Amino acid sequence: MAKSNVLIYIVEDDPWYKEILAYHLSLNPDNEIITFESGKECLKNLHKKPDIITLDFQLPDLKGNEILKKIKSIDPEIEVIMISGQEDINTAVSLLREGAYEYIVKDDNAKDRLWHTVNHIRNNRNLRQENESLREEVRQKYNFESSIIGNSTAIKKIFGIIEKASNLNITVSISGETGTGKELVAKAIHYNSNRGKKPFVPVNVAAIPSELLESELFGHEKGAFTGAVTTRLGKFEEAHQGTIFLDEIAELDLNLQAKLLRVLQEREITKIGSNQTKAIDVRIIAATHRNLAEEVGLGHFREDLYFRLLGLPIQLPPLREREGDILILAKYFVEEFCKMNNIPARGFSEKAREKLLTYSFPGNIRELKAVVELATALSEGLTIDDEDITFSSNGKMKDVLSQEKTLKEHTIDIVQHYLNKYSGDVLFVADKLDIGKSTIYKMIKNNEVEHQKNSHRYVSH
């Protein structure tokens, strides 16, 4: 919340003019005014931390530029408005260079200029405070022990590595299957580091056409190529003093890999269409779902760039290896979905929990979130039942194939899946899978699959 009151010191040895300024600024009830007749009095009271000081350039005890320097040396955040009876351009320029916010001449427009200048300072200060408040909210949001949900041994190991990465100025490489939360980890590292108040700039390499990616990363000059109608700032410049997150880095083509390597080595960029280099101070966090070492072996990724990016490696575990975290995450996603949609909180039935725990979630956390949100939307009352939980057929097939089973065991799983999906209609399933109906009846007789025939037949439209 931005502070509304503004404490203003008026330093003026002319009693009449001092009262005029004080009265004029006090017309805004949010302005708290204190007046002084000398520079020394003002300096003695800086401990009260004024927001703004209007300072007469010609005071009997000290010169205006001397007082300005002392104020700025004690508290650089105080904004000083110089007020002078003389319109001297050289003096004005000198004072502005030394840190004065504005130079106002005592003429008929002085009161209005002072009023507008004070309001401008107030607006800028409120904007800074709001930005700082938002940054603090973001830092709290990405406090890794509260933003990364889970209590498994696997995820607790990740907490330790994130903490190390946050305290070191080192390149970080994050690997893991799609949907394991790589960008969330990158944000947790950034916002908990000493760069947390600076920009976090994500770039999904796979989502940008290769012919546009160089401009996206490094920027371009006006006229550098057809369509370059203005100068463009690249993502590396946007991330100056902060962090750039290069997601799906393995998708970068070999030509751009060479250019990125040079940026990492020299810590400078060159815009397309320019011969000028620009130094950058950027932390690199790279992520991929591929095995970069294997990509190097296949000749798809430069070995020298691989070692430049490796830095501190973080291997995120898939959800199926995070014992106990599925239900913790599911509960969290339900609570968030209910809050967002202003509906009563839901809980899971025992069968629903069992159904979640017997699925390996090849799409990881992203898939779990989607499944849980859909189940919450479909549920009736305050309980999510097992029939509310559905998995996509593609996801289910990936789940089946991710397990090491015999061909017969896989066949049983597939037949059971289709019997469940098509209401136990053996003839329809046999036709769908292009197998004999006697094969399915035999599996039912041998108790290899369950057959719960519903009263209605599945009809294909």
Q: Please give the pLDDT value at position 132.
A: 61
Q: Taking the alpha carbons of 417, 423, 426, 428 in that order, is the dihedral positive or negative?
A: negative
CA dist 183 and 210 (Å) reads 21
pLDDT for 403: 57
Give 362's contacts (C-beta < 8 A, 6+ positions apart): 177, 395, 398, 399, 402
| Structural domains in the chain, sorted by start | 6-135 (3.40.50.2300), 149-315 (3.40.50.300), 318-400 (1.10.8.60), 404-461 (1.10.10)
pLDDT on residue 190: 92
The pLDDT of residue 142 is above 70: no
Cα 450 from Cα 305, distance rounded (Å): 54
Q: How confident is the model at residue 394 (pLDDT cuts 50, 70, 90)?
A: very low
Confidence of residue 226 (pLDDT cuts 50, 70, 90): confident
What is the pairing mode between strands 283-288 and 172-175?
A: parallel
| For the chain, the helix, strand and coil percentages under 3-state DSSP, each to the nearest 5 | 50, 15, 35
Mean pLDDT of 127-151: 61
- Whether the per-residue pLDDT at 409 is higher than 90: the answer is no
Please count the other Cβ atoms lying within 10 Å of the Cβ belonging to residue 436. Answer: 10
Residue 43 has a pLDDT of: 92
Q: Tens of pLDDT along 14-28?
A: 999 999 999 999 998
Count CA atoms closer than 13 A to 383's CA, side-chain side.
8
What was the pLDDT predicted at 137? Answer: 54
Q: What mean pLDDT do residues 427-434 have? A: 84
Is the Cβ–Cβ distance between 349 and 355 less than 8 Å?
no
Residues in the chain: 461
Q: Which two tokens stand for residue 102?
A: 């504005």
Which one of 300-309, 384-393, 418-427 scores highest in mean pLDDT? 300-309
